[in-house]
Amino acid sequence: LYGEFWKAASSISNIHFIDQDYYRKDIMKYKTELMLLGVMVDVSENYQFVIDHVKSAADLNWLSSESLLFALKCICKSHEADKLVASLKSAKCLKTNMGFLCPAECFLFNSEWGCMLQVFDGFPYIDFDIYGNNIFQYKDELVKIGVVVEFDAVVKKCCTIFKQRCSSKSFTKENGLSFIACYRNLMNSLQVIPAELRTYIHEAKWIKTRLGDFRSTKDCILFSTEWDPISRITLLPFVDDSTNSYGKGVHEWKS
């Protein structure tokens, strides 16, 4: 028996609704009697029915936020949700900062390390402005359909892009400053930074110097007045703090 609460369910599942045009709206007067006859009225008791009649993956592309959250709720409430999980995995059902994508291509933003997803433009993270905080209630369900939610996985992806940008010399000043700011956030959050990331930060050539090249952090110098005398007689790899590069603001990130 159709009601507004079945709207989200009908968007993800093939459900036989009683034809109210045929019976007229008077049918709604007999909700109790219909329930006694076996008609489903309340969706909250019939999540498994919704899953058993789930639509194909092609019909689950571009789901509304209400429909996607309802689908996750169905997975949460059921012990046999494989059919729904499989359909969602193959559908472009999640809205991200890069449009609708399949779950395996998406990352779930985390307040402690979410800045990692914003250093480069290659991280499609779930648009929490669309789904609201409710999306975070279904972390386990998002994992089931393939969404990346763990920090270690984000770090591996970040290192891959890091390497690509460094090798192609396309690591921009915006990337650099954004990453340094993110690193501060990670330290302040007491997040354990994986050894792989720390090693690559120290070894990769991603810091622009006044000499015009990119060098690893251990081969760079942050200029201060103490370096002024020797800088007059030798060329040293000072971090490029010119207006065309990081700017004087880079000194705010000394620590």
pLDDT band at 197 (very low <50, low <70, confident <90, very high): confident
Amino acid at 241: D
Q: What pLDDT, in 10s, does the model give residues 142-182? A: 999 999 999 988 888 888 888 898 888 889 999 999 999 99
Mean of the per-residue pLDDT values for the chain?
A: 93
Measured distance CA(13)–CA(49) in Å, rounded: 9
Measured distance CA(249)–CA(246) in Å, rounded: 7
Structure tokens at 16: 């036989």
Q: Do 67 and 35 form a contact (C-beta atoms < 8 A)?
A: no
Taking CA atoms, 174 is separated from 131, 177, 236, 250, in Å, by 29, 5, 23, 11
Taking CA atoms, 236 is separated from 173, 213, 240, 241, in Å, by 20, 12, 11, 14
Structure tokens at 221: 């110098």
